[in-house]
């Protein structure tokens, strides 16, 4: 992507206009630097896992995880078809926090 700015020749600007232009350019440069330094890669999209996939990931039994209290503890929710699903990111965060990985 290329940006072409239409600015008058610097020779045509008065000393006061040069000072104003420099202040504007310096402020813009500082904002741009701050954005570039703090940018992060886009987050990986989260996936919805089925009950069986979550069981495999957690290493527990299907019957245990399908209990409402246990599925809620691990971020389980009902999808539009009323099937229990789990956030892959939430399960991964739980596993990392527990020190299993």
> Who contacts 94 (Cβ-Cβ below 8 Å, separation ≥6)?
58, 74, 75
Instruction: For the chain, give every domain's residue range.
Output: 12-41, 48-98
CA atoms of 60 and 54, how far apart (whole Å): 9
Token digits for 72? Answer: 């809620």
With DSSP H G I counted as helix, E B as strand and the rest as coil, what are the percentages for the chain, rounded to 5? 55, 10, 35
For residue 64, pLDDT over 70 is answered with yes
User: How do residues 16-62 score in pLDDT, each as one tens digit?
Assistant: 999 999 999 999 999 999 888 888 887 778 999 999 999 999 999 99
Can you give the pTM of this predicted structure? Answer: 0.54
In the predicted model, what is the mean pLDDT of the chain? 87
């Amino acid at each position: 992507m290329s940006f072409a700015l239409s600015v008058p020749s610097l020779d045509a600007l008065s000393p006061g206009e040069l000072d104003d232009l420099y202040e504007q350019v310096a402020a813009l440069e500082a904002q741009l630097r701050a954005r570039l330094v703090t940018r992060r890669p886009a987050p990986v999209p989260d996936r919805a896992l089925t009950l069986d996939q979550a069981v495999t990931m957690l290493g527990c039994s299907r019957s245990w995880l399908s209990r409402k209290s246990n599925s809620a503890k691990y971020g389980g929710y009902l999808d539009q078809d009323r099937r229990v699903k789990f956030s892959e990111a939430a399960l991964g965060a739980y596993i990392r926090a527990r020190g299993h990985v």
